[in-house]
Each structure stands twice: as structure tokens, then as C-alpha cells.
Amino acid sequence: MAVNIGLFTLYVLVSSFGLFKLKSASGFLSPDFLLGFAFYGAGFLIWYSVLTRLPLSVVFPVAAGSLVVATQIIGYVFLGETIRAAHAAGVALILAGIVLIFVRV
């Protein structure tokens, strides 16, 4: 199970970093774009490995929620985006949903 959690965590980190670099790219085929594209592509390969090991009904909602939370953090910390109270409450509900899904497992 530790390998699955590690792979899943790697997927979220690699994909989130790829999205960050794509967002911060100055244009198509810029170094940031190419790096973001490479990381996002690597995330897809890791995602495929995760899908072959874990139940889809568990891993997909947790992955979607984890990416939402990770991109919110990246947007706030690295891109200077604001997070309103309602936005933070939504992220908290997503985290609660992730916990509830894992309690089911």
C-alpha cells in the first residue's frame, strides 16, 4: 500500500508542478511551457500506473480533489492568487471528501 500512496503522491506533485509551469509560461514552446508539458506528460504516465493498481471509484475522486487542492496552494503561494473565504471553505469540503473516501477503503 505504501508504494501506491507514494505513486499517487508523486502523480499529484508532478502534475501540479506541470500545471504551474504551463500557467507561468510566457508563450507556446517557451522553456517553461516545454518543462510544464514534460511534467504534465510524466504525470499522465504515473496516473496510468496508479489506475492499474487502485480502484477507479477511489482513486479518481481523490486525484481530482488532490489536484484541486494542490493547484490552489500553488496559485496562492507562487502566483499570488487570492483565496476568498468561500473558496477556502470549498477546499476544506474537498479535503473532507477525500478523508471520507479513504475511510471507506
Going by C-alpha positions, the residue among 65, 50, 54, 57 that lies closest to residue 96 is 65
What's the domain count of the chain? 1
- Pairwise CA distance, residues 43 & 77, whole Å: 21
pLDDT, tens digit, for every residue of 27-51?
Answer: 989 999 999 999 999 999 999 999 9
| Domain carrying residue 45 | 2-104
Whether this prediction's pTM lies above 0.75 is answered by: yes
Q: Work out the pLDDT band at 3, boundaries 50, 70, 90.
A: confident
Rg (CA), the chain: 15
Query: pLDDT value at position 1?
Result: 67
- Pairwise CA distance, residues 3 & 90, whole Å: 30
- Pairwise CA distance, residues 2 & 26, whole Å: 38
pLDDT, tens digit, for every residue of 63-84?
Answer: 999 999 999 999 999 999 999 9
